[in-house]
Amino acid sequence: MLDLNVLEDIGPATRICLQKAGFRSLKDLVIRGATDIASATGISIEKCATMCNNARMILEDLGIYDKPFVQATVIYERRKSESRISSGSKNLDNLLGGGIETRSITELYGEFGSGKTQICHTLCVTVQKNAQLSRLTGNALYIDTENTFRPERIVSIANARNLNPEPILENIIVAKAYNSSHQEVIIEEAANVIQLHGIRLLVVDSAVSHYRAEFLGRALLSERQQKMNRFLHILLRIAETCSVAVVITNQIQSSPDSLFGDPFRPTGGNIMGHTTTYRIYLKKAGKNRIARMADSPYHAEREILFTLNEEGIGDPLQ
């Protein structure tokens, strides 16, 4: 881990102040940003901005971040080698261009029972199984905000996939968030947990439930959106800086003014839509489920079928 000693322009007192506030590495500085650092430590915003810029330049030299001005061909070559995690369904992997992508946020939204949590549980297993396929492999961090994580389900998925469930469970770190403030504290510590435990998949199930329950009415809408915006941007910086795949689930709400088409909309408004990289809309279809690529920088907007089964998720029988 690149600790704060690498920064030559900060003294021992500043370093101790940062460490006491939870900033232990260069990645912590870049992920949290100058405003967060200043608020947590009392250090001037100007000095915090300088520290963040210097930390970013060091990470650029190490290849963790791209230089400020690069040719598109460089980005294209890096994109071709981007790691992906298999979802467990060939159809869903095909919709995603090979699986859940690292260094990005994939949002799953839909009504209850549409398969959001089942996909998350399956990914916690497949991210570890990928080693057998010579693909991305690592551990999982599962942030549970709705009390939906069930280790029994992990065991059944692992058994159905002929895997030993004991090491699978040991390699899943679970953090239960009891309110929105606790959820934010957890995500602030996530970068250190990712480095310590070799995390390659970060799941937040769900990202909006606490905010939706605690900030009620139009009077608190602005504050809710600001807090969600900060939370999501920290998630995005974690994905980019730590090279992990971030998967979040989201709820839906009915739009009463919708006379035609689908009346359901994902919660979170424009902030959620602008921050997530890929948005997948899940719907029930009898015994099967429909996944539609609702928003993506380059994927086509289309639908596929998948099913829920003992292996977590899979493809319908032909």
Domains of the chain: 4-61 (1.10.150), 82-314 (3.40.50.300)
Mean pLDDT of the region 145-152: 96
pLDDT 10s digits, 176-235: 999 999 999 999 999 999 999 999 999 999 999 999 999 998 899 999 999 999 999 999
Residue 10, pLDDT > 90, answer no
Q: In this predicted structure, what is the pLDDT of residue 132?
A: 45
Nearest CA-CA partner of 99 in 266, 310, 247: 247
The CA distances from residue 305 to 14, 94, 126, in Å, are 54, 11, 19
User: Which pLDDT band, with edges at 50, 70 and 90, does 257 fall under?
Assistant: low
Beta strands in the chain (DSSP E): 84-85, 100-101, 104-110, 139-144, 172-176, 199-205, 245-250, 252-254, 264-266, 278-285, 288-295, 303-309, 312-314
**pTM for this structure?**
0.91
User: Which pLDDT band, with edges at 50, 70 and 90, does 133 fall under?
Assistant: very low
Q: In this predicted structure, what is the pLDDT of residue 136?
A: 55
Residue 162, pLDDT > 80, answer yes
Q: Percentage of the chain surpassing pLDDT 70?
A: 95
Q: In this predicted structure, what is the pLDDT of residue 254?
A: 78
Q: In this predicted structure, what is the pLDDT of residue 40?
A: 92
User: Which pLDDT band, with edges at 50, 70 and 90, does 152 fall under?
Assistant: very high
Q: What gap in Å lies between CA 178 and CA 253, rounded to an integer?
A: 22
User: Which pLDDT band, with edges at 50, 70 and 90, does 130 fall under?
Assistant: low
Which helix (H) or strand (E) segment holds residue 274: the answer is helix 269-275
Q: H helices within 62-115, ranges in order? A: 72-80, 90-95
Q: For 313, phi and psi rounded to 5 degrees? A: -135, 160
Q: In this predicted structure, what is the pLDDT of residue 63?
A: 83
- Quote the tokens at residue 207: 């990202």
Terminal Cα-to-Cα distance of the chain (whole angstroms): 48
Question: What's the chain's average pLDDT?
Answer: 91
Q: Are strands 104-110 and 245-250 parallel, antiparallel or unpaired?
A: parallel
With vertex at residue 249, the alpha carbon angle to CA 243 and CA 255, rounded to the nearest 5 degrees, is 135
